[in-house]
Structure 1
């Protein structure tokens, strides 16, 4: 399976809320660069991120476009979400709905995703849920 197929499967698992399937595609040493956040290394930290995301958000990624060359893949998509539980430093959550364009850059090594870097407009999202 090439890098683009691995990333397509990763996002298909995300949309199906198949967290085990999604995590099976991630390297034990994954580098996760969160939007306007820190850099987290290792699958354990990535698992904690996924759990927090599931608690706080219910999201589906639509209009997915996957582009890539070699082991580098870019994904552009629109996030259709519900803000279920507030995170520290963010607005109060009351099941607000949002539709937000986003993108990600991923790297695949030895058949597993070794880097996930996600970008979206945080001020725009805050205005949608405030």
Structure 2
């Protein structure tokens, strides 16, 4: 079940389908980004989605999913391709730069939903690609 849930999560991400992606999440989902503060809840995750969609157009390529034997935890490794659309805070100026990153993501599952999303990537690599 959990690997299928991750497939649904990333398929919704690639389709730009916010509602479908949010539907995979537990109401009190914990989102831990690679940089910045953690956020709790679907509303906070939805706000993050809106911000990211405004600043970046991204796609997950060739994801590999792993799930613990007890089904409580999972992970994904994938290539993230993207275009930097709008300057994000104090990051370098956006000029439509393309980038590609290797990303690792870790998950907890509860009651058939994603209860934690923790994403990790190399920010210095991204900065080098967009500067």
TM-score normalized with structure 1 length: 0.96
Q: Within 2, Cα distance between the matches of 1:4 and 1:38?
A: 27
Q: Within 1, Cα distance between the matches of 2:106 and 2:81?
A: 19
**What's the C-alpha RMSD, in Å, of the aligned pairs?**
0.7
| 1:34-73 matches, cutoff 5 A | 34-69=33-68, 70-73=71-74
| 1:101-112 matches, cutoff 5 A | 101-112=102-113
Q: Within 2, Cα distance between the matches of 1:110 and 1:87?
A: 35
- Who is 2:92 aligned against? 91
Deviations 1:4-56 (A, max 9, x none): 11111100110111111111111110000011221111111100000001000
Q: Within 2, Cα distance between the matches of 1:54 and 1:88?
A: 14
Unaligned runs of 5+ in 1: none
**Secondary structure of the equivalent of 2:7?**
helix
Q: Within 2, Cα distance between the matches of 1:16 and 1:60?
A: 9
TM-score normalized with structure 2 length: 0.96
Q: Within 2, Cα distance between the matches of 1:14 and 1:128?
A: 22
